[in-house]
Amino acid sequence: MKRTLLILIAMLTLGMTGTKAAENDVLVSTDNTTMLLFAKKGEPLKFVYYGARINEQQASDIWLAGDASNRNAYPTFNDWCPNESAIRVRHANGQIMLNLLVQDVERKAVTGGELVTVKTKDKVQPLFVDICYRSYNNADVIETWTEVTNREKKDVVLEQYASAYLPLRSANVWLSHQHGQWGNECQMYEEPLTAGMKVISNRDGGRNTHTDHPEVMFSLDGQPRETMGRTIGAALCWSGNYSMRMAFDPYDQSLFHFLAGVDETAAAYHLGANQTLRTPELALTYTDEGKGGVSRNMHRWARQYKLHNGMAVRDVLLNSWEGVYLDITEEKMHKLMDGVKQLGGELFVMDDGWFASDKYNRDKDNAALGDWNVDRRKLPNGLQHLNDYAKQHGLKFGIWIEPEMSNWKASELYDKHPDWFLQNTGVEPVQQRGGTQARLDLCNPKVQDFVVGVVDRLMTDCPELAYIKWDDNAITANYGSTYLGSDRQSQIYTGYHLALRKVLERIRAKYPDLVIQDCASGGGRVNYGLLPYFDEFWTSDNTDALQRVYIQWGTSQFFPANAMAAHVSAAPNHQTQRTIPLKFRFDVAEAGRLGIEMRPSDFTTKQLAFAQQAVEDYKRLRPVIQLGDLYRLLSPYEQGGVAASHMYVSADKGKAVFYAYKLKHFVGHTVPPIRLQGLDPNRSYRIKELNKVGNSITADGKLISGKVLMEAGLALALDNEYASRMVELTAE
């Protein structure tokens, strides 16, 4: 009764009793989805529908069907105070009311889709908010964000400025999200949304994905399934502090509110007269193919539009960190390069430890960050020599930097520019890694120039440098800027990341082909705010293959394989001390962008031959592994000891590769045949097992119909501890 009344009120409010004015419908559509808004001039913008694609006639029918939620699409803190709001402002006159009314709707074609801008203005003050929707047709993604422009005479303070709001109607919504910590990133959590508010947020200040990730999925038909169910995926494209709030409507238990954007803690943003702030995009996707459908859409979107150079396959590399740590010498670098060449790799990356200054050495992790000069004690012939050595061996050369950081009182950078660090006058600063590390104040344009200069200098000293590993190993402490004025201290969090984006834009404009890895003590910065500037990310500092199965499962929810760096490391593993067979280690690392994180000289002759073959097969198959559609077959969380984590299928369904891992082993613990996904049921596939050690799977070499592989499954004989399989399928 109450609900019928509400709907009636909604319809009356909008002046429609069955004859809605279709000219006010705003459809934002992709190939398979539609978001429907209602934009009537002089009224707030309304959200009506988000789901499977509908046409204009069907859009009108939604009103007749009677379930239009009548929610403002971008709710403001206004006279109806208890409402969830996405934006709260303090006007120049001190008042905090905001009523955004539609002025106009603009549409324009953009690459792969359309940009729809709903222009709104406060009822009273000259404060303008453009509410933007950008469709990506073939990925079924719609991004939404706002652009707030202050035309008042003085500063307007944005106390809250979320990117987007989405009202969702379902009586049984489940949330899937990733949570973790250093070395254990991206663990999966799934739970029904119940009464009260659920908040997912991060306030690290610099790296926002070691703990909770700013990407979530909502399963609208109850418990999340991998292959079915109406599911919405949402990714906030932001590298700084964020919060995502989910709350049931106090008056309607089948309606819940979802808000996502910059976290407002200590983040009030002063918008000067005639200035505009653009909020980060929230990327949304909808599918009825469950979590797998969301992942495939997001991966397609990422590769085509978001990730830097996202359609390209990545090189097989060796990174020096776990091989030598800070103990870098020219001889050791030569040896590692010889090793990766022997394995069939294509790129060598020299990690931390190569730099110094006259006064400070990087022999421990407590000094010299910021002093980016080659340490001639360790590398007498400099970087160009290493690049030449790599080149002679048919390899590319890459290097590690951490340009947003320096060591407090332990770097020449500090000696020269103590004011370039975030700090509060008279307060002893918090110093982190090595007891001295602190973050630079990127809000200061001179610091921005310095950071760009670090890359410029490397590219001048070593013009053929092919790869940079860009690290970030401390939180944002010492929340104070000597550059920003006393009235702007609360915008360090936001200002820092806007500045970081500027810096990266400058670097990318100059060096579009340089491959840059996004690293932050492992997976601390795996987000779509930064990935437009990076080719890949370091998934985790934890290279233990068993734990990586879980980390990579979680990471694959939103991020594609060509961005997910996965390295084979030593046994016992340096993080967990676990000893895992080389085959299992390769089978896990080959599910992402394969690399090596150990000394190849530690391989036995037999292991070396195995690794060489593995690298060769990986290089042959990487177009499908790195760029194919992902199907997750069997979750490590659900099946008590086995995971058939990743199956990659080429767009034409002619080629596929998948992996299966035994995660624990007990007598009697057998594994049933595993049903494959994504194949063409009308074609037959030749089965070829790769990375073989010991017995083969029964089907090895056989030609089997796609239908049978997907319905009856494939027996994998995973019958000993750390058993694993890598299988290639080729349609004939």
Q: Compute the least distance from the CB of residue 364 to ligand DGJ, in Å.
A: 11
Task: Choose between 127 and 328: whose C-beta lies nearer to ligand DGJ.
Answer: 328
Residue of closest CB approach to ligand DGJ? 352
Give 203's contacts (C-beta < 8 A, 6+ positions apart).
241, 263, 265
User: Smallest distance, Å, CB 524 to ligand DGJ?
Assistant: 8
CB nearer to ligand DGJ: pick between 348 and 538: 538
Contact 91, 79 (CB under 8 A): no
Give whichever of 182 and 637 is closer to ligand DGJ, judged by the CB atom.
182
Helices (H), 594-705: 605-627
How many C-beta neighbours within 10 Å does residue 366 have? Answer: 17
Burial of 693 (0-12, 13-18, 19+ CB in 10 A): middle
Angle at 358 between CA 357 and CA 364, to 5 degrees: 55
For ligand DGJ, the closer of residues 183 and 339 by Cβ is 183
Please, which residue, 34 or 542, has the CB nearer to ligand DGJ?
542
Q: Name the site residues for ligand DGJ (rule: CB under 6 A).
A: 321, 351-352, 400, 471, 473, 519, 521-522, 538, 541
| 3-state SS class at 636 | coil
User: CB of 394 within 8 A of CB of 347?
Assistant: no
- Asked if 523 contacts 471 with a C-beta cutoff of 8 angstroms, the reply is no
Nearer residue to ligand DGJ within complex by CB, 226 or 351: 351
Which residue, 245 or 585, is less far from ligand DGJ as judged by CB? Answer: 585
3-state DSSP call for residue 547?
helix
Q: What angle do helix axes 582-589 and 545-555 make, rounded to 10 degrees?
A: 10
Q: Nearest approach, Cβ of 467 to ligand DGJ (angstroms)?
A: 13
Rg (CA), the chain: 27
Closest contact distance (angstroms) between CB of 404 and ligand DGJ is: 13
Residue 538 vs 584, nearer CB to ligand DGJ? 538
CA distance 9 to 2: 11
- Whole-number minimum distance, CB 523 to ligand DGJ, in Å? 9
Q: Are 162 and 87 a contacting pair, CB within 8 Å?
A: yes
Smallest gap from residue 522 Cβ to ligand DGJ (A): 5
Q: Copy the structure tokens of residue 78.
A: 């206004």
Residue 275 CB-density burial (10 A; 0-12 exposed, 13-18 middle, 19+ buried)? middle
Alpha helices, DSSP H, located in 320-409: 321-324, 330-343, 382-392
- Would strands 629-631 and 593-597 be described as parallel, antiparallel, or unpaired? unpaired
By C-alpha distance, which of 555, 561, 533, 564 is closest to 237? 533
For ligand DGJ, the closer CB: 51 or 595 = 595
Residue type present at position 568: V
Report, in Å, the least distance between residue 368 CB and ligand DGJ.
12
Least gap, CB of 177 to ligand DGJ (angstroms): 23
The three-state (H, E, C) secondary structure of 443-495, written as one string: CCHHHHHHHHHHHHHHHHHCCCCCEEEECCCCCCCCCCCCCCCHHHHHHHHHH
| CB of residue 542 to ligand DGJ, shortest distance in Å | 10
Q: Which is nearer to ligand DGJ, 346 or 541 (CB)?
A: 541
How far is residue 256's CA from residue 197's CA, in Å, rounded to a whole number?
A: 10
State the nearest-atom distance from the C-beta of 433 to ligand DGJ, in Å: 8
Gap between the Cα atoms of 438 and 247, Å rounded? 37
Closer by beta carbon to ligand DGJ, 146 or else 436: 436
Which of 30, 517 has the CB closer to ligand DGJ?
A: 517
Chain CA centroid to CA 532, Å? 10
Report the nearest approach of ligand DGJ to the CB of residue 367 (Å).
Answer: 13
Q: Smaller CB distance to ligand DGJ: residue 347 or 519?
A: 519
Preceding amide of 572 cis, omega within 30: yes
User: Residue 677: how many CB atoms within 10 A of its CB?
Assistant: 20
Neighbours of 702 (CB within 10 A): 13
User: 512: how many CB neighbours lie within 10 A of its CB?
Assistant: 9
Closest contact distance (angstroms) between CB of 502 and ligand DGJ is 24
- Shortest reach from residue 328's CB to ligand DGJ, in Å: 11
CB of 359 to ligand DGJ, least distance (A): 20
Instruction: Please state, in angstroms and rounded to a whole number, the distance separating the CA atoms of residues 130 and 100.
Output: 10
Q: Smaller CB distance to ligand DGJ: residue 440 or 656?
A: 440
**Shortest gap between Cβ of 471 and ligand DGJ (angstroms)?**
5
10 Å Cβ neighbour count for 427? 9
Shortest distance in whole angstroms from residue 326 CB to ligand DGJ: 8
Considering the complex, state which of residue 118 and residue 520 has its C-beta at the smaller distance from ligand DGJ: 520
d(CA 294, CA 285): 7
Burial class of residue 730, CB neighbours in 10 A (0-12, 13-18, 19+):
middle
Indicate the residue among 406 and 473 with the shorter CB distance to ligand DGJ. Answer: 473
